[in-house]
Amino acid sequence: MSPTDAAPAAGTRPDSEPHSLQRSAKRFGDTVFRSLSTGSGILILLILAAVASFLVGLALPALLADPAELQFGRGVSFWEYVAPYAFGTMWSSILAMLVAVPVAVGIALYLTHYAPKRVASTFGYVIDLLAAVPSVVFGLWGIAVLAPALRPLFLWLEENLGFIPLFSGPVSGTGRTILTASLVLAVMILPIITAISREVFLQTPRLHEEASLALGATRWEMIRQAVIPFGMPGIISACMLGLGRALGETMAVAMVLSGSEVISIQLLTSQNPNTIAANIAQSFPEAHDIGRNQLIATGLVLFVITLAVNMTARWIINRRKEFSGAN
């Protein structure tokens, strides 16, 4: 056999077949990963649609029923019945966010820019561990420890700041008020906001921080000029996740809050608005027939509130990105 017979044909490569096999394997892996990712996204949408369909289907009998046929709040329309619970849900969550967000962002800034590495790692672990505590434990802590400890403070607030509507009215004898429940919620959502904010602050470009310091800024001025603007979308996302947890929390609020069907902004009295989730947990055992549909309809209201909160947060983040890109 001549040497020319053993040589490969012109325009071909001896290793073309192995490369072709490698490319085919890569294409197959990409196809599988893309299919799994797309399927997961579609599955989430299907689950969300199934939950919405379930809520709407079982809520319609209560929404269309005559007020005299309703089991709870008989004689008033469904919307008059659910209004105090919707108000209590939003009011307690807003109070919890007012307490938790500044503390969580401050902790995240301390762990990322002030604390030594060993202290930061230890405190970060403790914060993450706090998120694993069951809500029942928080409820027991709120009843046995927080409520009695806060009652002297409530008496002081009512005596010295009673002219403010928030602190007016007779103080609850047990300390189980909307303010106590909101503080418990604040402690529960604190790890979520702190953990996400901490990770966002760690992603701040090092050159931005060094440039700010090189121009003569103090550490706080550097944080205000470089870190917080860069991490603002992440902070908003963390706050919305925490707010979602506060809106849907059930057991801790049901155990701590002595709620009723009222709409009131007073923080220290025994007449406190209840939340939707807590009312469902407390009323469902005795519900029957139209009563169950009525409670599921209140769950639909909570579902819509949570969805509206998340959509608003996404709109704010997108608007901020567009504004930053325009600048």
pLDDT digits (tens, 9 = 90+) for 207-219: 888 888 888 888 8
User: Is the pLDDT assigned to residue 181 strictly greater than 70?
Assistant: yes
Residue 272: in which H helix or E strand, if any? strand 272-273
Enumerate the β-bridge partners of residue 259.
Answer: 272
Q: How would you class 49 by CB atoms within 10 Å of its CB: exposed for 0-12, middle for 13-18, buried for 19 or more?
A: exposed
- Residues with Cβ within 8 Å of residue 200, at least 6 apart in sequence: 108, 230, 231, 234, 235, 238
- Domains of the chain, residue spans: 91-277
DSSP letter at 12 equals -
User: Is the pLDDT assigned to residue 183 strictly greater than 90?
Assistant: yes
The domain 91-277: what is its CATH number? 1.10.3720.10
pLDDT digits (tens, 9 = 90+) for 190-210: 999 999 999 899 888 888 888
- Contact (Cβ atoms closer than 8 angstroms) between residue 198 and residue 124: yes
pLDDT digits (tens, 9 = 90+) for 77-114: 888 888 999 999 999 999 999 999 999 999 999 998 88
